[in-house]
Chains A and B, each alone.
Chain A
Amino acid sequence: MSPPTATISRAVPEAHSLDGLLAPSGPPRRAGALAASATFGWRAMLKIKHDPKQLTDVIAIPVVFTVLFTYIFGGALGGTRGHYLKTLLPGTLVMGVTACTMYGGARLAQDVTTGVFDRFRSLSIWRGALVLGGLLGDAGRYLLAAAIVVILGVIIGYRPGGGATGVIAAVALVIAFGLALSWLWAAVALLVRDAATVMNLGFAVVIPPTFASNIFVQPRSMPGWLQAFVKINPISHLADAARDLMNNTGGGGVAWSLIAIAAITLVFAPLALRLYGKQG
């Protein structure tokens, strides 16, 4: 009788071998600021790809307001539909973009509260990369909103006097304004660290000035105090600027808007970066 043979096996269920994976990696590499930002931008795009539902508002707001106002108020407010569209469409372009500026901030607030944020912060990358990468994702969202407004406008009868160049310039200007607001919401997100709060604050801050502007109606019929607000409202200036560019009518709107974009960015971009870099 032969003695029983015992085999010794490793007790680890489905053992995973890291053989050859853990070679010394050599001197540490560092991702460049641009590459890191682009990676975060790519991540933002992947998130949209995995959850396209988040684009619902981006698509719905410009469609609803463009169509609704054109057909309900168009005749009453601007004479003919085509005539009103010259005023309204650059306005809904502004609205469509500004109304979705807080999504990037909400997303950042969500990031900050999850474990992945610590891993990002534990890497040797430029501290602005996450916020800037998020802005790249935002830019994609704004471009989509802008494209929907313009295409829809052309379908229902809008003819831009400024031609393609004017439309592209207006879209670029409005997106630049959206990105300035993105910095603002990024700073807010890093302060409040709660996605729902960012969204609620976003709607409370963005929606009223959108209506209290010259997007839908000229302020002539408004009470004096509201007219005063509409005149200083940056959204009115931006809408004017978009009209000037798209309809090829000269005006001071573009200069005003560029100043507003620069001012908002210069205040909130450094603030957001400071808040991001703060160690707990």
Chain B
Amino acid sequence: MSTTGAAGDGLAIEAHGLIKAYGGQRALDGIDLIVRRGQVFGFLGPNGAGKTTTIRILATLARADGGSACVLGFDAASQVEEIRARVAVTGQFASLDEDLTGYENLVVFGRLRGLSRAASKLRADELLAAFGLTGSASRPVRAYSGGMRRRLDIGASLIVTPDLLFLDEPTTGMDPRSQTQVWDLVRQIAAAGTTVLLTTQYLEEADQLAGQIAVIDHGRIVAQGTSAQLKARVGAGTLHIRLLDGQQRHKAGAILAGTLERAVELDSDPLSLSVPLATRPDATDAGRLIGRAMTRLAEAGVAVAEVTLGQPSLHEAFLALTGLPACPAAVDHEDTYS
């Protein structure tokens, strides 16, 4: 493996049977992982599933108790410095010095990445400008908002363009606006050729960013595939319809059931109905069906107040993929998210 070196294509990560125990509790229980170079790989799972532990092992911050991992062609146990020189880690909690200003943080990390003093300062200015932080450059990071902090954090990982970037839950707890900004940054980083391994608790995030997704639960990978493949197993989500008039609910239900050929559920809200959709081979197919259902409702004089197509939640995804609910922590997070 190592003879292929850092350049060229091939595998960014190849891990077999990773095991890690903390005080008798198995955080990782045999993780196998293949990530190709240039890919955005999504690691999806609830809190405590083993996502962070896997990243820590691959980024050489922790040592596996069993199994083997090859990162960019280097052995994670014995070629630690080779890996560290080529990867960057953006941890779950801001990996920044809160006491220092944004500018000082970047200069410090530039120096530690082997840049000269002048090059570090230049790079810090460039990154601050690109991330829209020039105005806050001389403020201590403690005073930054969550979104600014995360941007600076990602910026600190780009001082030297890494071959592989680990992003541990990059948008957890963020407002939707900052979330969109971070997603956009991740897409640009991936487009420039950096392999990205990101962990997330959000199915939507993995769906938006990752070409390949592994679902992890209780230290094991329970499902793996492209977003489309996983969705085929999970379902396309649920169509929610809210009417203006509750009297028309049964009429609406009959029309929807007839058009969509799916079971219609009456929600506890007397104005609402929902229809879990099957995934069709072609998404336009589902779109056309929904469109037709809306037309029929309009023709029948049913006044619709609201139509939403809900993404399957992580909770639903776990149910579908494992037949079991995710650990309780995941349900809590899913609740706060949706």
- Which positions in A face B, CB cutoff 8 Å? 10-18, 21-25, 28-32, 35-36, 39, 42-43, 46-47, 50-51, 114-116, 118-125, 129, 279-280
A-B contact count (CB 8 A): 135
Is A115 within 8 A of B130, CB to CB? Answer: no
Query: A122 touching B60 by the CB < 8 A rule?
Result: yes
Chain A CB within 10 Å, residue with most, of B63, B81, B97, B192: B97
- A133: shortest Cβ distance to chain B, in Å? 10
Give the shortest distance, in Å, between A122 (CB) and chain B (any CB): 4
* CB < 8 Å neighbour of A119 from B81, B89, B98, B131: B89
A121 to B84, CA, bound (A): 9
CB distance from B128 to the nearest CB of A (A): 11
A22 contacts B108, CB within 8 Å? no
- Indicate whether B261 reaches chain A with its CB closer than 8 angstroms: no
Is A116's CB under 8 angstroms from B97's CB? yes
Q: Which of B33-41, B181-189, B223-231 contacts A (4 or more CB under 8 A)?
A: B181-189
Question: In the complex, A31→B99 CA distance in Å?
Answer: 23
Distance from B127 Cβ to chain A, minimum over Cβ atoms (Å): 7
- In the complex, how many angstroms separate the beta carbon of B70 from the nearest chain A beta carbon? 17
Report B66 CB to chain A, min CB distance, Å: 15
- Selected interface stretch from B110-118, B237-245, B269-277: B110-118
> Which listed residue (A10, A14, A35, A121) contacts B132, Cβ 8 A?
A14
A47, B108: Cα distance in complex, Å: 12
Q: For A21, give its contact among B100, B112, B126, B184 (CB under 8 Å).
A: B126
Ranked nearest first, the 3 interchain pairs of A and B with the lowest CB-CB distance are A29-B114, A28-B85, A22-B192
Check if A39 sits within 8 Å of B108, measured CB to CB: yes
Q: List 16 A-B contacts (CB under 8 A).
A: A12-B181, A15-B184, A16-B184, A21-B130, A22-B161, A22-B189, A25-B160, A28-B86, A29-B160, A36-B111, A46-B99, A120-B112, A122-B87, A122-B88, A124-B84, A279-B60
A279 touches B63 (CB 8 A): yes
Tell me if B288 counts as interface (CB < 8 A to partner A). no
Most buried by B among A22, A47, A122: A122
A123 to B63 alpha-carbon distance, docked (Å): 16
CB neighbours of B132 from chain A (8 A): 14, 16
A31–B85 Cα distance when bound, in Å, is: 10
B289 within 8 A of A: no
A16:B86 contact, CB within 8 angstroms: no
The residue in chain B whose Cβ has the minimal distance to the Cβ of A30 is B114
Q: Are B130 and A31 in contact (CB under 8 A)?
A: no
Chain B residues whose CB sits within 8 angstroms of the CB of A29 once the complex forms: 85, 113-115, 160
One digit per residue, 1 when the CB lies within 8 angstroms of any chain A CB and 0 when it does not, for chain B 46-74 equals 00000000001001111100000000000
Smallest CB gap from B178: residue in A: A13
Not counting A43-B104, A119-B91, A123-B113, a sample of 20 additional A-B residue pairs whose C-beta atoms are within 8 angstroms of each other reads A13-B180, A14-B181, A16-B181, A21-B161, A22-B189, A24-B161, A32-B114, A35-B111, A39-B112, A42-B108, A42-B111, A43-B108, A46-B100, A115-B91, A116-B97, A118-B61, A119-B156, A122-B59, A122-B84, A279-B63
Evaluate contact between A115 and B95: CB separation under 8 angstroms: yes
> In the complex where A13-B180, A18-B192, A21-B126 touch, is A280 in contact with B56 (Cβ < 8 A)?
yes
Q: Please, how many angstroms separate the alpha-carbon atoms of A226 and B87 in the complex? A: 57
Instruction: Tell me the nearest residue of chain B to A107, going by C-beta.
Output: B99
Whether A31 contacts B95 by the Cβ 8 Å rule is: no
Which A residues are CB-close (under 8 A) to B98? 114, 116
Q: How far is the CB of A90 from chain B (nearest CB, A)?
A: 35
Point out the residue from A17, A119, A123 that lies within 8 Å of B188, measured CB to CB: A17
Q: B146 at interface (Cβ–Cβ under 8 A)?
A: no
State whether A31 touches B112 (Cβ < 8 A). Answer: yes
Closest to A11 in B: B180
- Chain B residues positioned under 8 Å from A122 (CB to CB): 59-61, 84, 87-89
B194 on interface, CB distance cutoff 8 Å: yes
